[in-house]
């Protein structure tokens, strides 16, 4: 869980964004490096069960997805930029999960916190569809944010705590190969 600044600073405007993009181990470090991002937390979103644990979510029974919640300084980075970066870190055409992680609990989604975020997310998705970057339809869901539950401590900043295991997982997942093929670089 990356924390850069004091949230109590009244001169800065902080907002939240919540995204599901497959395994949160891979999505969390992608956003951590962005200027204006204050905190990126791994957790669970989209289901009805309160306070789910990893085993429950991984079973697919809770309706939750692995997700990240991002606190960002709106005066440094805007939601549209976060959306653009999100699309470049997932396969938005896969409704069965992401890469080697299969099941609804790994499917991509944008959880909007306001009507403005919903509109920007829909516009962003439409723009991506019209670009014809992908041969298949964009299936990432855009759904209202309801709640976010922190993942267990060992999942937070996994890429820093277990760098070798993380690197092997990331390479083996196929995510990096896909991102290079589609965008010409590795974002995460």
Q: Is 23 a catalytic residue?
A: yes
- Gap between the Cα atoms of 124 and 181, Å rounded: 21
- CA 151, 40, 105, 172 torsion-angle sign: negative
Pairing of strands 65-73, 14-20: antiparallel
Sign of the dihedral defined by the CA atoms of residues 51, 55, 56, 61, in that order: positive
Asked if residues 23 and 89 have their Cβ atoms less than 8 Å apart, the reply is: no
Catalytic residue among 23, 57, 70, 109, which? 23
d(Cα 100, Cα 103) in Å, to the nearest integer? 10
Interatomic CA distance for residues 138 and 65, integer angstroms: 18
Print pLDDT tens along the chain (188 aa). Answer: 444 444 445 456 899 999 999 999 999 999 999 999 999 999 999 999 999 999 999 999 999 999 999 999 999 999 999 999 999 999 999 999 999 999 999 999 999 999 999 999 999 999 999 999 999 999 999 999 999 999 999 999 999 999 999 999 999 999 999 999 999 865 54
Q: Which residues of 144-154 are buried (b: 16+ CB within 10 A; e: fewer)?
A: ebebbbebeee
* Length of the chain, in residues: 188
The CATH class given to the 2-181 domain equals: alpha beta
Predicted confidence at residue 56, as pLDDT, reads 95
**What local confidence, expressed as pLDDT, does residue 18 receive?**
98
CA neighbor of 65 nearest in space, from 42, 82, 40, 93: 42
Domain regions of the chain by residue span: 2-181
Least Cα distance to 146 among 64, 62, 41 occurs for 64
pLDDT score recorded for residue 184: 87
| Count of beta carbons in the 10 Å neighbourhood of residue 166 | 17
Separation between Cα atoms, residue 80 and residue 17, nearest integer Å: 11
pLDDT reported for residue 13: 85
| 166: nearest Cα among 152, 179, 155, 177 | 155
- The pLDDT of residue 3 is 46
Residue 52 is predicted with a pLDDT of 95
Q: Report the pLDDT value the prediction gives residue 5, as an integer from 0 to 100.
A: 47
DSSP one-letter code for 96: T
Supply the pLDDT for residue 175. 93
């Amino acid at each position: 869980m990356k924390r850069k600044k004091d949230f109590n600073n009244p001169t800065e405007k902080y907002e939240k964004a919540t995204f599901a993009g497959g395994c949160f181990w891979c999505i969390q470090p992608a956003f951590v490096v962005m200027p204006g991002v204050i905190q990126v937390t791994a957790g669970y979103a989209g289901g009805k069960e309160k306070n789910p644990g990893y085993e429950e979510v991984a079973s697919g029974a809770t309706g939750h997805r692995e997700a990240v919640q991002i606190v960002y300084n709106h005066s440094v980075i805007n939601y549209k930029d976060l959306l653009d970066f999100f699309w470049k870190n997932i396969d938005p055409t896969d409704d069965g999960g992401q890469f080697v992680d299969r099941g609804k609990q790994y499917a991509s989604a944008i959880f909007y916190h306001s009507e403005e975020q919903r509109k920007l997310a829909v516009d962003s998705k439409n723009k991506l569809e019209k670009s014809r970057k992908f041969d298949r339809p964009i299936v990432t869901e855009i759904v209202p944010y309801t709640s976010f539950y922190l993942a267990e401590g060992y999942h937070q900043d996994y890429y820093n705590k277990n760098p070798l295991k993380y690197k092997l997982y990331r390479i083996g997942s196929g995510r990096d190969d896909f991102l290079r093929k589609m965008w010409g670089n590795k974002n995460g």
